């Protein structure tokens, strides 16, 4: 429990954290990886190089300072990040290392402005926040391990099938190397894939949405080839049938609800992948639920799953789909009435435009659910959080 004095001190640092947060987190990661290069096996190197992780952490620290007296308000963010940490293999023993280097970075960047009382208050605050993460993640590890066919850490899988879905997206069917089943998962969740790429010093871990409903003996992921993506290029060009890679148990809290309300799935680009799982799952478990599937892509050549979506939709009287090339301009005709649930996934500009349009058309914010790939923004107006999922 934080003292009132330390709460006031931490809250007083919010303005300077807003102004200098990225400076602090840049120094933090530099020192962390210098002292503990083994942690480079966990972190996304591309996000580090592009500064995305530094920005995400800076905003998370700033949000913590603002809300230190009401930490329950950021519990959803803790759970979101906890899912990611569990899928990456982050453990309780990593938190003291992170805390030490965060305090050191604050002192290094702020100099004399980081007084002993500020460092002491932040040390106490970090302890409380770390305990919250550790508690959430302990439960997530337990859930992953205890379910049928479950496992808590990375497990070896083999590539059993590889399918080109479009000019830029390829699906990989992954089966457990031991011949067993895969655990159940919620539509919309993702797995982490860990690769050791020849010529690379450290392991690479990426999160990919599961792009089908649950099947007992395989996971399906569908990967977009990124322009300079080391991992996506390796998967597309070098991963062959029978090749081995390591996979985490499914994670994530962007999941299809079990209501019977009309469902609208809206995606752009590779954001279609979790929607495929939601569409198949909805029709399997809720066959009478009305579903509208709306997807935007640049052109026909980069559009995946068109035939698969149409086959599923055509098998149900309450289903309809729309494929748009270029900018998606939602109209009132595409809304499904009061009580409908809208799931949105895609590039950040696409999602901002779609969510703002939905709100303008009168859709309540609590009926808009979204996921995007990369450390990201809460597009409904909450602070940035660390969510790496690509």
Would you name the residues annotated as active-site residues? 95, 137
Q: Which of 206, 186, 103 lies closest to 143 in space, CA to CA? A: 186
How far apart (Å, rounded) are the C-alpha atoms in residues 346 and 289? 24
* 180 within 8 A of 149, measured Cβ to Cβ: yes
Could you identify the residue written with the tokens 């303008």?
Answer: 360
What burial class does residue 219 get, using C-beta atoms within 10 Å of its C-beta: 0-12 exposed, 13-18 middle, 19+ buried? Answer: buried
Could you identify the residue written with the tokens 């026909």?
Answer: 300
CA contacts within 13 A on the Cβ side of 176? 16
Could you tell me what percentage of the chain is helix, strand and coil, using 3-state DSSP and rounding each to the nearest 5? 45, 20, 35
**Who's near 37: CB < 8 A, 6+ residues apart?**
202
How far apart (Å, rounded) are the C-alpha atoms in residues 15 and 1? 24
Residue 324 bridge partners (DSSP): 296
* 382 within 8 A of 80, measured Cβ to Cβ: no
């Amino acid at each position: 429990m934080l003292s009132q004095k330390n709460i006031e001190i931490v809250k007083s640092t919010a303005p300077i954290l807003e102004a200098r947060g990225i400076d602090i987190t840049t120094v933090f990661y530099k020192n962390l990886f210098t002292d503990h290069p083994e942690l480079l096996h966990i972190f996304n190197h591309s996000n580090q190089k592009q500064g995305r992780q530094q920005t995400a952490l800076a905003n998370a620290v700033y949000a913590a300072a603002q809300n230190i007296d009401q930490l329950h308000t950021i519990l959803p963010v803790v759970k979101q990040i906890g899912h990611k940490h569990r899928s990456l293999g982050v453990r309780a023993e990593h938190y003291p290392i992170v805390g030490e280097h965060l305090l050191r970075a604050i002192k290094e960047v702020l100099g004399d402005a980081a007084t002993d009382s500020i460092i002491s208050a932040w040390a106490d605050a970090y302890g409380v926040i770390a305990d919250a993460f550790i508690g959430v993640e302990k439960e997530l590890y337990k859930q992953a391990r205890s379910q049928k066919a479950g496992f808590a850490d990375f497990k070896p899988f083999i590539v059993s099938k590889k399918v080109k879905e479009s000019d830029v997206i390829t699906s990989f069917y992954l089966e457990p190397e031991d011949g067993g089943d895969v655990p159940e998962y919620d539509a919309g969740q993702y797995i982490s894939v860990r690769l050791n790429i020849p010529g690379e010093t450290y392991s690479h871990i990426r999160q990919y949405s599961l792009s089908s409903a649950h099947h007992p003996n395989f996971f399906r992921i569908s990967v977009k080839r990124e322009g300079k993506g080391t991992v996506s290029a390796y998967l597309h060009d070098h991963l062959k049938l029978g090749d081995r890679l390591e996979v985490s148990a499914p994670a994530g809290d962007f999941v299809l609800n079990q209501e019977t309300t009309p469902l609208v799935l809206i995606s752009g680009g590779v954001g279609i992948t979790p929607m495929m799982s939601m569409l198949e799952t909805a029709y399997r478990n809720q066959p009478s639920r009305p579903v509208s599937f709306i997807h935007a892509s640049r052109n026909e050549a980069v559009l995946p799953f068109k035939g698969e979506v149409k086959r599923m939709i055509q098998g149900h009287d309450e289903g309809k789909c729309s494929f748009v090339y270029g900018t998606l301009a939602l109209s009132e005709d595409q809304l499904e009435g009061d009580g409908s649930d809208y799931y949105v996934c895609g590039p950040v500009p696409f999602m901002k435009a779609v969510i703002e349009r939905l709100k303008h058309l009168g859709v309540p914010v609590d009926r808009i659910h979204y996921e995007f790939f990369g450390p990201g923004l809460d597009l409904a107006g909450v602070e940035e959080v660390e969510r790496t999922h690509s």
